[in-house]
Structure 1
Amino acid sequence: MSTVRPITFGPQVCARLNEGATREWLVPDGVGGYAMGTVSGLRTRRYHGLLVVAGDTPASRHLGLASLDPVVTLPSGAVVRLGVHEWADGAIAPAGHRLLAGFALIDGVPRWRWRLGGVVIEREIAAVHGRPAVAIVHRLVAGGPVRLTLEALCTWRDAHGERTAAGAPPAVTATADGCVVENAYRIRGPGFTPGGEWFRDVRHRTEDERGLTSAEDLWYGGSFHVDLPAPGDIAEVSAWAGDLDDPPPPAGPAVVAARTRNRAVVLAASPADETQATLALAADAFVVRTRNGPDVVAGYPWFGSWSRDTMIAYEGLFLATNRAEQGRELLRAYAGTLSEGMLANTADTGAVEYNTVDGTLWFLHAAGRHVAVTGDDDLAAELLPALRDVITYHLSGTRYGIRTDPADGLLRAGAQGKALTWMDARVDGVPVTARAGKPVEVNALWINALATVLELSARTGIPPGTAERACPQAREGFARLFPAPGGLLHDVVGGSGEDPVLRPNQLLAWSLPHAPARPGRETLDRLGSALLTPLGPRSLAPGELGYSGRHRGTPAERDRAYHTGTVWPWLTGPWVTALHRVGASGEDVLTDAEAHLSEHGLGSISETADGDPPHRATGCPFQAWSVAEHLRARRL
């Protein structure tokens, strides 16, 4: 069996903030919450913490336990602080990262190792899968005896915001084995002593880079104390939300259980090699259980569920990892949100929205792939009536001007102030890339959807309805209107005229199962020379009007760059699939991403990257469709 690639760093990374603080680890709890931080131990984001709890949806999270700072009293009586904090004036104090001998991420469990002369102490952190709970274990590995103090810095706030000393401090109630904070979460550990003061102006340097508020105040809730006389002795601390009277297992066994579960997840995915094993475990982070059943977190640390992202990621997350039963449950639940032929895009905002032209078509693609891979004709028969309704609504018209053009059978869409394709960024309510008309990937998905309904109809014997006559017309219309010079495809037709701008969207027209076009190898090479980077294709070619090579700055600046040159690793999947269609392996493209597994979000693949070299990763460091499409492409 292939196992997950261990990711390890020595002091040259751990003890240098410019290195260790840019590499992030994630421990998900399986219900939308997580623990997250950096290799160095410095909290660089407002989202970093040891207990981040999901609410009614995975996106409505609260930060609870921000950090648990170790303080070691050595046999000599010297006191050494191992925590790391940055303050508003730029000072780093304490600077425990300087004593880090190493960091390792093994089977999804992060481990730190500090050397204090002859004393060595390790820390491990794991989530308790299926509930909002975290286990933290400190172990004396060498030397001793030592006295270990663990200082709990607490808050209870929306994960997207800050809490300061301008308001009331968090209410902390002592218990027999720790404390309860804000009646929202509980911390359990040895020898608790209440605290009671603000740590003011804690700085999050990454939020500075993102043009957001970068300082907050944390409440010193109290400390835990334990003697560690000899190597092998441990200190166990747990924190959990939900039912505060139902404690999780002790921290030591919880860490062992987490590692065992992660190995089982990888084994169930039957990976062919170490990289596939790493990606299979990365995929597990995004599949969560909510009160409505299984769902997908689009990215950590700030996204919840988005229908489009879920359906693009579906094959990689569920079918490439042997989670078909969970996937089946998810598809049935999402089918229940269809309205006027459109799939709801709901969970990240907490309100029902129908605001994409392609999310529904990706749903049909996901359903088709599920049936093709699993042979689940019962699900095909159950979903087919709803899928036929989708086709009917798209033919006659639905929200936002989404309807087929009777002249060519192609799908058009557009509404004032709306960005309906996956290139959906807006600044001050104005779409950056509106793409009104007939976008190339939307029509590739439309033809793929029509063919999928025909295919499912053939499997089940249920008549296909309007898809039977619509599919040939759409294919002919696509072949007539989309070809551009040099074997490329126009990005949009039928809007203000043909759009020759060089974007990667045409990859979908060459890579979907029922793709309406076939590329030449020379065409892919030409496109690659303009768009391809080590982390995937750019969203716009350099030299095109409006190209932005840096995805940086304020929210508005980042949104302007989002689809105007920024690299999107998820597009590597369509790229490699298109290469397969012309007899090439795409192995070189996939190999480029392997180094990234230890560069940013450890063991995972980022949402985006700068278009210009060195293509520094941006956006969420852990992104579902990026991981899913790399995993799917590796199984071709």
Structure 2
Amino acid sequence: MSYLKFEKAMMTNLQDSLPRELLRTNRSGAYSCSTIVDCNTRKYHGLLVVPVPGMDDDNHVLLSSLDPTVIQHGAAFNLGLHKYQGDNFSPKGHKYIREFDCDKVPTTVYRVGGVVLKKEVVFQHYEDRILIRYTLVDANSQTTLQFRPFLAFRSVRQFTHENSVASRDYKEVDNGISTCMYEGYPQLFMQFSKKNEFRFEPYWYRGLEYPKEQERGYASNEDLYVPGYFEMTIRKGESIVFSASTSETSTSKLKKIFDKEIETRSPRDNFFHCLVNAAHQFHNREANDDRYIFAGYPWFKCRARDQFISLPGLTLSIEEQNYFELVMQTAERGLREFMEGRELTVKIYEIEKPDVPLWCIWAIQQYAREVGRERCEKLYGKLLNDIVKFIESGSHPNLSLEKNGLLYADGKNEAITWMNSTVNGRPVVPRSGFIVEFNALWFNALKFVASMATLRGDDSKAEHYEQLAEKCKASFVETFLNDYGYLYDYVDGNMIDWSVRPNMIIAVALDYSPLDEKQKKGVLDVCTRELLTPKGLRSLSPKSGGYNPMYVGEQTQRDYAYHQGTAWPWLGGFYLEACLKLYKRTRLSFVERQMVGYEDEMYQHCIGTLPELFDGNPPFRGRGAISFAMNVAEVLRTLELLEKYKY
């Protein structure tokens, strides 16, 4: 039985099915995303969404959707579904869905009278090509299919509306057409594996509405252009493959391409395999073979901090050491360009943030644990030393090593940590000065790099790093630990943030902690009492001022709530690691119960993956980006830790 399977009763109830989304990526920046009933509810949704480097750094919706229509005995049954203004849905094709499952590939089975039609969808890896296979499973008489493509040709951040500029020109190609609505865009090739007739009937469908944009207080309406429709007959047992791409293909090969793509897919038949599949969706390979980890979908690109936090869980935890090394190869080039003041040749955002080099060292440390210190020293030994030297020498523009051994960063006017929401250009949480996780990571980095120096026999450098670490440790406890047993979030002169926040858990979870066992248990206890939810750690305790756990409403309202009580699974990963390190096997069942809270999400929000964040209060609804790399990564890393402590 399929793990991700939904029956007719749920699929035909839009209240249940519309909130569930589905994501496919090609691992080269393009994606396909909609709801499981193929009704677009975001401006980011589309059947073929691709980057157009010649225009900007955004993704662009070329093909919004493809509506199939079944014709029997002269009667037409449209299987599409769109939401229009006034809460109107048309043509309500969801009522024909018999079942949907997402084991290897998303598969929808429709039943129209005696006709049973199966639809399977794959996104070809490393190609901007979406493929859909339609199979006529059963039919009592001659059946004809029509397909209407809804075109957008716009950025994911904009809308298209009926206009006289859009080109209606098209060119016939092998079993299909190519068209391009606006200058600067690539041609869109729509082809079938079977000969068909294209009937040119240009028409603008007006007033489509996207409720997810309404929720954020954004504009939410657009018009989509349909150039006409494709028509062909289909026999019982016959399969037809549709291709939409930015390049023409040989239609005689479409069925083989589809079969080959299915062979490469790993089944999503359990919780772990769903997360592995989600992990692969964050991969991004550029034309020059640079490798990246995207922070999330549908609106994130590669962000430096997110990439380093995600990298171990998305690669090492699923025994994909090779991809770790490929990503680090690109990331190291970017880090060196930044440290040397050269122009960046990598597509990594926010590499200048002060904690990025610290998270890089943490990621390499996880590599050493998994692969071995000897190989780690060989590949990354020089980089580790260069990063520490860069920080120690004060070369970073916003990270200085103070006399007390702690790192200082100015975040009063700019968001410099992972808590990066802003309103009117100002950080909502202006964390500045001595920041708790920065300095925990700094102590951990010094101890780790000292151990690597010892490994290669460089005792003088090892001693130097150990001395820096000891000074950092003493100052860390003196600066951050308070009489209530938890850690201040940041300290800047006389400004002390007493808020109970989850960043302190990182100091407990690291391999080298500046805290002793009693102090670590005290911090863990506070996190358990005030921050723990079934979906990770809250970003602020309910007892602290400004607690705002519900990530809802217009965008400004959401920005204020973003880090003021919402729950984050990636922080839950560090919390559970701390539990296992402190209490070993006695906490195994507790950690396993926490995993159940994440497994429930495989059937919600975006199926088979984890969203960006959750409300901090029950029922802990998923919010934000529909698939988030750091969350998937840390749950994978926790599952790996569970296995290690079991055996």
TM-score, normalising length: structure 2: 0.90
Change in 2 beyond 3 A, CA 1:398/1:428: farther
Change in 2 beyond 3 A, CA 1:318/1:180: same
Given the alignment, which residue of 38, 41, 48 partners 1:41? 38
* Structure 2 residue 475 is matched with structure 1 residue 472: no
- Any conservation in 2 of the 1:306–1:346 contact (CA below 8 Å)? no
Partner of 1:561: 561
Amino acid at match of 2:59: R
Which runs of structure 2 are paired with 1:158-173 in the superposition (5 Å)?
158-166=155-163, 168-173=165-170
- Any conservation in 1 of the 2:354–2:396 contact (CA below 8 Å)? no
Amino acid at match of 2:579: L
Change in 2 beyond 3 A, CA 1:510/1:344: farther
- Any conservation in 1 of the 2:2–2:101 contact (CA below 8 Å)? no
Is the partner of 1:71 in helix, strand or coil? strand
**Counterpart Cα distance in 2 of 1:248 and 1:46:** 31
Partner of 1:575: 575
- Any conservation in 1 of the 2:304–2:350 contact (CA below 8 Å)? no
Unmatched runs of 5 consecutive residues or more in structure 1: 267-272
**Counterpart Cα distance in 2 of 1:254 and 1:15:** 32
Given the alignment, which residue of 206, 212, 218 partners 2:212? 206
Is the partner of 1:164 in helix, strand or coil? coil
**Counterpart Cα distance in 2 of 1:92 and 1:374:** 54
**Counterpart Cα distance in 2 of 1:480 and 1:209:** 45
**Counterpart Cα distance in 1 of 2:30 and 2:351:** 26
Change in 2 beyond 3 A, CA 1:360/1:522: closer
Is the partner of 1:485 in helix, strand or coil? coil
Shift of 1:253: 3.4
Amino acid at match of 2:218: L
**Counterpart Cα distance in 1 of 2:103 and 2:327:** 30
- Any conservation in 1 of the 2:40–2:210 contact (CA below 8 Å)? yes
Amino acid at match of 2:297: Y
Identity %: 29
Partner of 1:606: 611
- Any conservation in 1 of the 2:171–2:178 contact (CA below 8 Å)? yes
TM-score, normalising length: structure 1: 0.92
Shift of 1:262: 1.9
Change in 2 beyond 3 A, CA 1:522/1:479: closer
Shift of 1:306: 0.5
**Counterpart Cα distance in 2 of 1:233 and 1:7:** 26
Partner of 2:330: 333
**Counterpart Cα distance in 2 of 1:87 and 1:250:** 38
Is the partner of 1:197 in helix, strand or coil? strand
Unmatched runs of 5 consecutive residues or more in structure 2: 181-185, 642-647
Partner of 1:629: 634
Shift of 1:40: 1.8
What is the Cα-based RMSD across aligned positions, in Å? Answer: 2.5
* Structure 2 residue 354 is matched with structure 1 residue 357: yes
Amino acid at match of 1:507: I
Partner of 2:77: 80
Partner of 1:269: none
Change in 2 beyond 3 A, CA 1:627/1:353: closer
- Any conservation in 2 of the 1:31–1:54 contact (CA below 8 Å)? no
**Counterpart Cα distance in 1 of 2:388 and 2:488:** 24
Amino acid at match of 2:312: E
Shift of 1:343: 11
Can you list the C-alpha shifts for 1:240-278, whole angstroms capped at 9, x where unaligned?
12xx244588444334323321229x8xxxxxx932222
**Counterpart Cα distance in 1 of 2:546 and 2:198:** 58
Amino acid at match of 1:28: T
User: How many residues matched?
Assistant: 619
Which runs of structure 2 are paired with 1:45-64 in the superposition (5 Å)?
45-56=42-53, 60-64=58-62
Amino acid at match of 1:70: P
Amino acid at match of 1:322: E
- Any conservation in 2 of the 1:400–1:415 contact (CA below 8 Å)? no
Partner of 1:524: 524
Partner of 1:500: 498
Change in 2 beyond 3 A, CA 1:238/1:488: same
**Counterpart Cα distance in 2 of 1:541 and 1:347:** 41
Can you list the C-alpha shifts for 1:204-235, whole angstroms capped at 9, x where unaligned?
111111222211111102322121231x2122
Change in 2 beyond 3 A, CA 1:382/1:216: same
Which runs of structure 2 are paired with 1:82-481 in the superposition (5 Å)?
82-107=79-104, 109-144=105-140, 145-166=142-163, 168-176=165-173, 177-182=175-180, 183-189=186-192, 190-230=196-236, 232-241=237-246, 244-247=247-250, 250-263=253-266, 274-290=270-286, 291-338=288-335, 341=339, 353-375=350-372, 377-406=374-403, 408-462=404-458, 464=461, 467-481=465-479
- Any conservation in 2 of the 1:280–1:321 contact (CA below 8 Å)? yes
Given the alignment, which residue of 595, 616, 620 partners 1:590? 595
- Any conservation in 2 of the 1:151–1:223 contact (CA below 8 Å)? yes
Stretch deviating more after TM superposition (46-55 or 615-624): 46-55
- Any conservation in 2 of the 1:43–1:49 contact (CA below 8 Å)? yes
Change in 2 beyond 3 A, CA 1:376/1:238: farther
**Counterpart Cα distance in 2 of 1:37 and 1:289:** 23
Is the partner of 1:592 in helix, strand or coil? helix
Is the partner of 1:630 in helix, strand or coil? helix
**Counterpart Cα distance in 2 of 1:343 and 1:608:** 35
**Counterpart Cα distance in 2 of 1:305 and 1:354:** 10
- Any conservation in 2 of the 1:388–1:464 contact (CA below 8 Å)? no
Is the partner of 1:364 in helix, strand or coil? helix
Shift of 1:330: 1.6
